Amino acid sequence: MKKTKKPDASGLPIGMAIGLALGAAIGAATENIGLWMPVGMALGIALGAAFSAKDTHKNKGDEEDDK
């Protein structure tokens, strides 16, 4: 019987949370939270997607070795 691996947690939610927190902090410091929260969220999504793509590429190499 072939073992199926559970997918690892995606980096996207982590990136979103970090980006939102940083955006809110910068927005509060500059008194322009309406600008910095979406900017932080967008940067967090981009970083999270990059982390997920990196992990996905790494995991695909592992699956090929298992065959």
Positive or negative: CA dihedral 56, 58, 59, 65: positive
For 2-53, the pLDDT digits (tens) are 666 656 668 889 999 999 999 999 999 999 999 999 999 999 999 999 988 8
Q: Is the CB of residue 52 less than 8 Å from the CB of residue 11? A: yes
Q: In the chain, how many domains are there?
A: 1
Could you give the angle at which helices 33-66 and 11-30 cross, rounded to 10 degrees?
160
- Is 63 a domain residue? no
pLDDT of residue 54: 74
pLDDT of residue 1: 58
d(CA 35, CA 28) in angstroms, rounded, equals 10
- Is 36 a domain residue? yes
Q: What is the domain extent for residue 41?
A: 12-51
d(CA 67, CA 51) in angstroms, rounded, equals 25
- Is 5 a domain residue? no
